[in-house]
Structure 1
């Protein structure tokens, strides 16, 4: 089991270094907490490993998160809130907002509880046996599902168990430049000797390198239109490639759609490609055109780019 020196904060705000294992977190002196730095929405450095490991210990403690629930959403939110407020927060100092740290802990515990759900804490053998049989069947089903999913993974990565949040922080420390998704994808699909994991990975990586070389945008910015997005396509609603636990397009992609008078204008680049969406988009633009012309007499120059044309006058609008 790995042991690391971590920055600790005491109740007076003083910082010191201390060796800690995930199994020793609950033994910390009262008022001392492990400092967990964050990069964007994810914890980084070795503290991330201890936090994730400690969340795993909590997730498999049946006195905190019972196994009597069929699935995680059935678990009352109060169970997690009590755990976070009374166990996690007193032992970790998060270098981010509470909303972000709470979300990470929730996702981490949810994943580990679902993956390690097993019968325990039963006092009666009569109740224990069916629970054990159910637990064994569940574990066998999970193993079979995981094996099938690994077979479907045609492009394996070489990232191991290290989260990409830590990898990003290490790459930034080495180069002084923020790595984008392209750099992360390339770094995790090559072997130690520099060769690609397979031919399909080589083909994808070469396309990403080409897209990066031709890009006119800042590839360090996380965007659905960066090199990875262009090569691999639209993201699933519940994940963002090259990001870790809990990453979703709505939380990790910046909102780049223009606003007029506080109204958010949908962009064709943001996936508004269906006929219904495009029709609503055109109608909204036409309504805004008519309103601006009525109020201003023409489309102000600063808004002309939104409509993809030079400033529009009343006579232009009448002829369209």
Structure 2
């Protein structure tokens, strides 16, 4: 309802990132007044942003025809939309920036080699159902397998099948205890599908971010977070020491220069 309401968000923004933070905060407050949330505010915002983008995509698919011309598309604004917002949206779709955004979206879609099979069910809900059924914590690789295979166990495409084959081979060659299995599965997924994207954790859907999921910023090339955290802190401390040393040296050079200038003027 909120995503489709021109009175609440509107269609005039070029992207979800352009929606003002103050407006997002107001939307969250409105939602929190209606519901007792047991999920994070970040997830609510991401979900709202996705629904808003999906709504704009649906409008474009059903009502926008480039070949009919700019004014013709503006005149047939859909019911439920505000006319001036629709006209601004049409202007954006006809602009160079809108064309570049479209090409970027098409290129990004082509790079998506695998897709999930959970339908409208969120990954968080699927994970909770699996944990309730099994009575134990579900590993990340296990969740990825459950959300990327069909009910009969077959794969969506060749890319997904190859990913699971590589992951299973690596998992079979590991010797670890149960406490380390979660970290091992994280490392295996990183090796077979790549590093995490900015603000997202692969295979976990909306909500989790690298910082919230791992606790601290990590380099995904290693499973030893404590070692990496220590190295990161040491690097920061070393940089701070070097900066302090540079400040002292510059201060000393400045003092010597001022002293030389005074001696010159006195001599002159």
Shorter-chain TM-score: what band?
0.5 to 0.7
TM-score, length of structure 1 as denominator length: 0.52
Q: 2:164 aligns with which of 180, 184, 205?
A: 205
Alpha carbons 1:224, 1:253 under 8 Å: kept: no
TM-score, length of structure 2 as denominator length: 0.61
| SS of aligned partner of 1:95 | coil
- Relative to 1, partners in 2 of residues 1:225 and 1:62: Cα closer, same or farther, differing over 3 Å? same
Q: Partner of 1:134 in structure 2?
A: 91
Alpha-carbon offset, residue 105 of structure 1: 1.7
Query: Matched residues in 2 for 1:136 and 1:105: separation?
Result: 27
Query: Matched residues in 2 for 1:163 and 1:251: separation?
Result: 18
Higher relative contact order (CA 8 A, sep 6+): 2
Alpha carbons 1:179, 1:220 under 8 Å: kept: no
| SS of aligned partner of 2:136 | coil
Alpha-carbon offset, residue 162 of structure 1: 1.7
| SS of aligned partner of 2:90 | helix
Q: Residue 216 in 1 paired to residue 155 in 2?
A: no
Q: 2:231 aligns with which of 259, 266, 270?
A: 266
Alpha-carbon offset, residue 207 of structure 1: 1.9
- Relative to 1, partners in 2 of residues 1:172 and 1:151: Cα closer, same or farther, differing over 3 Å? same
Alpha-carbon offset, residue 223 of structure 1: 7.4
Alpha-carbon offset, residue 225 of structure 1: 4.4
- Relative to 1, partners in 2 of residues 1:65 and 1:208: Cα closer, same or farther, differing over 3 Å? same
Structure showing the higher strand proportion among its residues: 1
Alpha-carbon offset, residue 137 of structure 1: 5.2
Q: Partner of 2:31 in structure 1?
A: 88
Query: Which structure's CA Rg is the greater one?
Result: 2
- 1:167-316 pair list within 5 angstroms: 167-213=126-172, 214-216=174-176, 218=179, 221=182, 225-255=186-216, 257-258=225-226, 264-266=229-231, 280=235
Structure showing the higher helix proportion among its residues: 2
- Relative to 1, partners in 2 of residues 1:201 and 1:72: Cα closer, same or farther, differing over 3 Å? closer
Query: Matched residues in 2 for 1:129 and 1:239: separation?
Result: 31
- Relative to 1, partners in 2 of residues 1:188 and 1:215: Cα closer, same or farther, differing over 3 Å? farther
Q: Residue 112 in 1 paired to residue 51 in 2?
A: yes
Alpha-carbon offset, residue 238 of structure 1: 2.5
Q: What stretches of structure 1 of length at least 5 have no aligned partner?
A: 1-56, 268-276, 285-320
Alpha carbons 1:172, 1:179 under 8 Å: kept: yes
- C-alpha offsets along residues 254-293 of structure 1, whole Å, 9 cap, x if unaligned? 346449xxxx5136xxxxxxxxx9x948969xxxxxxxxx
Alpha-carbon offset, residue 142 of structure 1: 7.6
Alpha-carbon offset, residue 103 of structure 1: 1.6
